[in-house]
Structures are given as C-alpha cells and as structure tokens.
Amino acid sequence: MIASHLLAYYFTELHHDKVQQVDKYLYHLRLSDENLMDVSVRFRREMDKGLGRDSSPTASVKMLPTFVRSTPDGTEKGDFLALDLGGSNFRVLLVKVSDNGKQKVEMENQIYAIPEELMRGCGSECPHSDHGVQTTLFDHIAECLANFLEKMGIKNQKLPLGFTFSFPCQQNKLDESILVSWTKGFKSHGVEGKDVVSLLRKAIKKRGDFDIDIVAVINDTVGTMMTCGYDDHHCEIGLIVGTGTNACYMEEMRHLELVDGDEGRMCVNTEWGAFGDDGALEDLRTDFDREIDAGSLNPGKQLFEKMISGMYMGELVRLILVKMAKEKLLFQGHTTPDLLTTGHFQTCFVSSIEIDKDKEGLVSAEKVLRGLGLDPSGEDCVATQRVCQVVSTRAAHLCAATLAAVLRQIRDNKAAERLRTTVGVDGSVYKNHPQFARRLHKMVRRLVPDCDVRFLRSEDGSGKGAAMVTAVAYRLATQHAERQRILDALRLSREQLMEVKIRMGNEMNRGLAKESHDQAAVKMLPTYVRSTPDGTERGDFLALDLGGTNFRVLLVRVRSGKKRSVEMHNKIYTIPQEAIQGTGEELFDHIVHCIADFLEYMGMKGASLPLGFTFSFPCHQNRLDQGILLKWTKGFKATGCEGEDVVTLLKDAIHRREEFDLDVVAVVNDTVGTMMTCGYEDPLCEVGLIVGTGTNACYMEEMQNVELVDGDEGRMCVNMEWGAFGDHGELDDFCTDFDRAVDDRSTNPGKQRLNGGNHISVSSFSLFLAHRYEKMISGMYLGEIVRNVLLEFTAKGLLFRGKLSERLKTRGIFETKFLSQIESDRLALRQVRSILQHLGLTSSTCDDSILVKEVCSVVARRAAQLCGAGLAAVVDKIRQNRNLDKLKITVGVDGTLYKLHPHFSSIMHETVRDLSPLCEVTFLQSEDGSGKGAALITAVACRIRDAGQH
C-alpha cells in the first residue's frame, strides 16, 4: 500500500507533470468546444436524415417512431403491469396509480435473472433437443411473469402491461416492436426481424395459465422520459447513459415522414448509439475506439455508444493502460495476464478511481491496479486516474453535444427564443460516476446557452415508465372514445346526407305549390327575374347594394359585341347609427343623399339612369321592381319600413330631394345578384349560392312550377330562402344538443300585423326567426357550435384538463373566423394555441390544440356537407325539370365562409358530386359582389323591355 505521505508527495510534486504527460498522450481524446459544436451540428444533420422518408433507410441515426403520443398529464389511474428487459437481469412490476385528490404511485417488483445460455441461445421456436423442447428466452420471461403474478395473487386478473424492451426496434404501432438488432451482449437467435410482443404473447399462450393485455412496448429511454414526465410535466426528453446510451424526445408529427399525419407530437427514439456507423465520426475516433469495436460482438455498429457507455468505458481505459505500459510510460513497462484480459478493467473501477474526496480516488486506483496483479507507483496511480478522467470527460462531452442538438431541434420546433424543458435521465454511468453528470450539465449549458434545462434523475427505473406509457395509452384511448362518441353526433353518413337532399327537394316542391306554400319552411319566393344575361346587354346603370352598416353605390357600364365588358365605379358609404335606429324617412333620405354625392363625384349630377337595388333583407315580391320588407335583420330597426315596399320608400326619398330622378327597375337580394354576376361570365350559371354570415340559394325554375305567379312559359329565378329549412322539424333527427343550444328562436303565436296593413302569416314570418338549416351551416353560428362542443369536452375533463376559462363561457367569443384560421394547413399548432390563449386558455397543451382543430374540422365538414346536400337537391331538380339524363350547370358562389375557409368549398363540391352523379356542376366564385349583379339584372330587364317583352 502506498503510504499517505508518499501520496501527498506524488500529488504535489509529480501530479501536474504526470497529468500533462497523459494529456499529451491522449490528445485525440480531448475535444474542444469547437469540436463538440461540430459534433452537435453533424448529429442534427443525422437526425434530419432519420426523420426523412427517403433518407431514413440509409440513416445511421434511425429516429424511430415510438407511437407514444403524449406524456402524463396527472389524471391517469389504475393498476398496470410492467416488464423491464434490457440486460442480464429483468424486472416485473405491479404499478398502482391512484387519484384521490392527489395522484399517487405504488409499486411492487421482482428481479429475475436471464441465464447466459438464453442470452446467446434460442430466442423462440428452438428445435427439439435430446431432452425435449428447449426453453427459449421468451418462455423464460413468461415463466417469470407467471411466478410474479402468483406471488402477487393476481394471476386470475387480466391487467394491461407495458413492456420495456431496451434494444433497437422498428415500431409500426404502440403494441408492436420488431427487433432490428441485439445489443448489450445479447445474441439470442430467432428474434431479430421479429415482433417481440408477438413472441411474448405466443409464449404466454403456450403456457395457458394466465392472460395479460400487452398495450405498449417501449425502450428504456422512453420509459425514463415517461417516469420523469409523471413528476415534471415539462419533461420531453429521455436520456440513458448506462450499459448503453440512447435518447428520445417529443418531436412534431409534421417532421415524422415515416408516420401518417402531421398534427401533434410523437416520441422519437433516436437510437443515437449508432451515430457514426456511416463514418460521420471517423475523424474523432482513435485507435483505441477501433480496437474496442473490432473486439466487440457487433463490429462496425453502435460506434457512438462505444465511445460513451458503461459497457465500453472501462475497456477503453484498459486498452490505453496496456498501450502506455508497452511503451514503458506506466508500470515500468510491465503488464499482467489480468491487465491483458478483455473486460477485466470494469467501468465501475473508473467511477471509484475518479472520486475526488481526500485523494480517495488515488487509493482506489492503487487497489484496482493491485487487483490486476500490478505493483503501481504513486505516479502510476496518478496517471491511471487521469486516463479515467479523460475517457469519462470525452464521454460526457460527446453526450452533451448530441443532447444539445436535440434541445435545439425542440426549441426550433416551438419557435421559442428561449426553451424551458426537462431531461429525464437514468443509467449507471450517469448515476454512479462521481463527475459525469456535472460535466454533462456544464457542457450542455455552454453549447446551448439559450435553453434552460433541468435534469431530473429517474429514481424508479424504466419499468415504472412502461406502466406510465400504458396508463397514458389507456387514458388517451378512453378519452378518445368518449370524444368520438360526442363528435359522432356531428358526423353525417352518406345515407343521412342523401336523406337531407330528398327532404330539401320535398320542401322545395311544397314551397312552389300554392296550396302548401304557407306551410312550407322553404318559401321559394318568386323574384320576377326572368332571364340571365345573354351577352347583348348594354348601357349605363346605377346599382345600390345595401346589406349592412356600410353600403355601396355603383355606376356599371355594360358593353356588348366582340369586346363585351363591364366597367364599374363605386363608392362605399356608412350609415350612421341614428339612421339605422331612427325613422324610415331618415334612413332613405340618407341613402338618397349618398346617391346624389356619388353622381356628383362621377360628374353626372342630375342624371337619370336605370337602377338596380340589392336589398339583402327578407322581402316579399309581387313584381321585379317591388320588395315588401318583412323583417329587419342585421341590427337595423328603422321604423315605418316593415311591411312597406322599399322601392316606394326609395322613390319617395328621391322625390323629396327634387334634384334627380331614377328609374328603379329591379330589387333583388344578394343571392340573385351573385347568380347574375357569374351568369355574365358563364351562360351556364343558373344557380346562385351565398355561404357567409348567412346562407341562401336561388335558381332558375320552370314557370309552370311556380304556382304563385301566373303564366307557364319560360323560367323565373326563385329565391329559396333555404336557411329556414328544418324549421318545421325536417332536420330534428340530425340536430344535436349543440345545435339546440345555439338555436334560441322565439315563438310568435297568431299572425303578425306589419306596418302598412299587410298581413303576414306566422309561417312566413317565423322563416326569419328560426333558420335551423342556416344555424347548422353559416358563419354566424359555426363558431358558437364549436364553443358549445368545447364546453362539453371541458366539463367532461376531456379538454384543457377540465379547467374552463370564463371567457369561453361568453356567447359568441369563439368567432367563426377562428375555424378558418385553425384549419389552415399553413397554420402551425403553436398558432392555434395563441388563439386559445386569446380565449383565456393559457394552460392549453399541444394535445388540446389538436382536439380543438378536430372539433373545428368536424363542425365545418358537417356544414359543408349539409350545404352540398341542399345544393344537390337544387341541381337535380333542374335536371329533372328538363328531363335530362345529364345536366351541365354552373353555380355562382359568394360568401366569406366559402371563400376563406380552407376546406369548406372542396368538401361541398365533393358532396354535390357524390349525391348528384348525373349533374356536372361547375362552381364559379363571384369576385365583384352582388352590386354588379343588381346592375346586370337591370340591364337584362331593360333589354327585355326594349324588345317589347313583358
């Protein structure tokens, strides 16, 4: 034994020189910060290769999907089994997760050994030996599992099990794991290329004395992340530095090209131990690394792991000591059989030698060296300690470099200036080596200073993690089933959509018939528009487009001939609140004042032109130039207008001004205006559709079917007012509780007497109060439907962890524009979260964002399909009216929902094609609004009038 005074002497006089000598000798094992940053950049490139569909097959870093979609959220509970296999011993665990106000985990476990002959012998389906069927690896595991269940008294229960299988595997789903290659000394044949879950199930079934539900298979890295994620919800990285090394982390699905879907996150098992297998680290590997690789069970594989992990660290030190001894730099040039024997310098020796307390490490060095048959001097002990320090420091720093790449990936995914995250860590080297963790932490913070990283040691091993993965999978499956049950009420089958189409067709016929018109929900109002543009229209026309607090006055110049064109000039005016809420005279005087201003602006003061009036409020018409206002909507309350002809009100205001006269030729709504606008571009356009704040449709109907108007010749545009479809119960079996929550229509018994002495029946008047179909389709209501679904989900604990924000309780707070934004393919989920944060949901998670997006998608899809079913009824009716086997027709469309929602139009088109296969429907989007349409109706009416037609 070296005396303590000699130790002190060697430390003070010789330590520094010997350390320098070793450092010089091991120069290539000492990596600068620049070297490490370069390693980090290289590893990030390898990560990208592993994530790519085309580059993954040849990537050394495989970035394997684990199908673990979420970390624990604190609501998991139940009894779970776990099996933890990753070395010569394995554990079986019973994990009880309870939630009595505060979540609690209790564990019972038993450790079982795996005999050497099974580690390197048969994995499964061994041939018969002289003594019968051989015991295979998985037979042994099943036997140990049976023993544990017997011991715990639960052999008759079928519990869910999570299987930690800590070897490189390819997963296609959570409960399937195909072994890519054995590591850590295992060579059991018949397993590589096989699904280990199937092998275990087969071994259990062969026994027949118990049954379990294998829910998930993971590796120890994922188990570590999940174990630590239970204690710290910021944990999204798992790291193992023990016998082997590996890392996993939560990656954005949009980067995982090997898995379908681009929403949410999935844990990726990097299998970073193989980093460098393609030569990416060749300039950093030393002759010692190459010698270790050559003597391993898997030459050329797991090269990064062989530079870091506990399985190789001690051997690396031994090879260095042997070489230094042979070069007479240590032990006076002497070696011993033990020093020359592979594996005799264990990694635990490195840990004991590096203890930095009262020179205890040097004492350990002398003890280890003497145990190898050497007679070390104090100088030899100092040199041996320094070799251990260099080797373990390189390992810690290389580990830090790759971990820094993972941290940068997560930070970039979140577009965060500064990342706050937790790394769950396990493994004998990290836990037992006295300096490894400190060196790793310090270097990580130097390489990624813009990341606040907490390192959390896993105290319960990856077995608990497997149970937590299983618990999370059970929670997700239960929650998913409940969410889908709720959302299924909003999903419509093809048969249901066909039924909607049929019922819409029936209501159209009822609305057209004189006898049933008053009882029909779909009023099918005649517009007295008898023709669409034919291209011969010409002249200058004024148009007035009134449908909200802003309105437009337009001058539309229509030119016919070879160079037919429409030239438009317009000016937007605001209607003050006092006019909206005042008298009808005040409102129409203001409108006429704006018309006068526009004519002066255009240098046409005093001109008398034909005018078309787009008046987007519910009206009853008896002719083209008459519109009796049934009910103000959109916040208008001007008195003395309801029940009156708005054309007469406008003409009276013009006469009061006594500056000009106008020929009001036509009054139309915005739907008819849209059809006429698009009809000018496409002669086949005979249908107009609005899907915006509200929804409506019009189309050219055969006069013989329009029983409210005399005459059977020709066609007339019918304003369907289809928003009221369902008000008489036609859609009750398709309505959900969410629709009923939105539908707050009032009751109006008896008849309503409107100004001017006109009597409007209850059925006519209630059309503008209920709007059942409109409330299932249009932009005014979709956001409110979504809000009600989100409230239901939250109340059931399926969203936002059951915590409801006060803002979300506010009616109308979830605007329909949010649906378009949330469903935009270009919108990252972090931006969805910003919308939720705006709604006071500051603690919403990535999973919450995915679910909110799904709710928006389901609600919008139903709206588009219902709209498509209604439109299918329209085009099919036109085809049947004309006795055509095949109809070719164009639909003119306008409205913010149709134009701005990223998927509404395509779903609607698809539904129309599916439900009306005999109709070839083209959709033409209106770009110029209904004001131009009003002018074109006026032009058509003037053309017909000038031709002497009535």
Give me the mean pLDDT over the 679-686 stretch.
90
Q: Which of 318, 530, 552, 862 is catalytic?
A: 552
Residue 228 tokens, joined = 């630590």
Q: Is the pLDDT of residue 133 over 70?
A: no
Domain residue ranges in the chain: 1-60+277-457
744, 772, 796 from 739: Cα distances, Å:
10, 9, 19
- Tokens 């959220």 found at: 73
Q: 1-60+277-457, which class in CATH?
A: alpha beta
pLDDT of residue 11: 52
The most confident of 120-124, 125-129, 437-441, by mean pLDDT: 437-441
Helices (H), 341-424: 347-353, 360-371, 378-414
The active-site residue out of 377, 616, 764, 805 is: 616
| Per-residue pLDDT, 3 | 46
pTM: 0.72
For residue 82, give the nearest of 45, 56, 53, 110 by alpha carbon.
110
Question: Strand (E) positions, 498-549?
Answer: 525-526, 539-546
Nearest C-alpha neighbor of 925 from the set 902, 901, 893, 889:
893
Q: Indicate if 552 belongs to the active site.
A: yes
Most confident among 82-96, 176-190, 561-575, 703-717 (mean pLDDT):
703-717
Specify the higher pLDDT residue, 321 or 741.
Answer: 321
- Look at residue 759 in the predicted model and tell me its pLDDT: 35
CB atoms within 10 A of CB 534: 12
pLDDT value for 432? 94
Statement: residue 367 has pLDDT above 90:
yes
Q: Is 28 left (phi over 0), alpha (psi -120 to 50) or beta?
A: alpha
pLDDT > 70 in the chain, percent? 91
Q: What is the pLDDT of residues 905-942, one digit of tens each?
A: 999 999 999 999 999 999 999 877 666 777 778 777 77
Is 135 a residue whose pLDDT tops 50?
yes
pLDDT tens digits for range 490-533? 999 999 999 999 999 999 999 999 999 989 999 999 988 888 77
Please, which contacts does 300-304 make with residues 24 or more away whose CB atoms are closer than 8 Å?
301/181, 301/183, 301/274, 301/277, 302/183, 302/244, 302/273, 302/274, 302/277, 303/274, 303/275, 303/276, 303/277, 304/245, 304/272, 304/273, 304/274, 304/275, 304/276, 304/277, 304/398, 304/402
Model confidence band, residue 165 (pLDDT cutoffs 50, 70, 90): confident
pLDDT, tens only, 704-721: 999 998 888 899 999 999
Q: Is the pLDDT of residue 402 over 90?
A: yes
Query: Max alpha carbon distance in the chain (Å)?
Result: 128
Instruction: Identify the weakest region by mean pLDDT among 49-63, 186-200, 932-946.
Output: 932-946
Q: What's the per-residue H, E or C state across 287-324?
A: HHHHHHHHCCCCCCCCCCHHHHCHHHHHHHHHHHHHHH
Q: Which of 95-99, 192-196, 279-283 has the lowest mean pLDDT?
A: 95-99
In the chain, the amino acid numbered 682 is D
Provide Rg for the chain, Cα atoms.
39
Using CA atoms, how far apart are residues 211 and 154, in angstroms rounded to an integer? Answer: 11
CB 399 within 8 A of CB 308: yes
When the pLDDT of each residue in the chain is averaged and rounded to a whole number, the result is: 86
Task: Please say whether the beta carbons of 169 and 176 come within 8 A.
Answer: no
Residue 541 near residue 611, CB atoms below 8 Å: yes
Q: Which of 258-267, 454-463, 883-892 has the highest mean pLDDT?
A: 883-892
β-partners of residue 578 are none
Provide mean pLDDT across the span 775-792.
91
Say if residue 389's pLDDT is above 60. yes
Q: Assess whether pLDDT exceeds 90 at residue 798.
A: no
Q: Which of 670, 739, 847, 848 is catalytic?
A: 670
Q: Is the pLDDT of residue 132 over 80?
A: no
Give the whole-angstrom CA distance, residue 144 versus residue 150.
Answer: 10
Model confidence at 338, pLDDT cuts 50, 70, 90, reads very high
pLDDT in the model for residue 100: 63
Please, are residues 650 and 597 in contact by the beta-carbon 8 Å criterion? no
Question: Is 448's pLDDT higher than 60?
Answer: yes
- Which is nearest to 616 in space by CA: 671, 550, 673, 547? 547
| High-pLDDT (> 90) share of the chain, % | 51
pLDDT at 765 over 50: no
- Pair of tokens at residue 209: 């004395």
pLDDT digit string, tens, across residues 575-610: 999 999 999 999 999 999 999 999 999 888 877 888
Average pLDDT estimate for 71-78: 80
Q: Which one is predicted more confidently, 7 or 87?
A: 87
* Predicted local distance difference test score (pLDDT) of residue 878: 97
pLDDT for res 461: 67
670 flagged as catalytic: yes
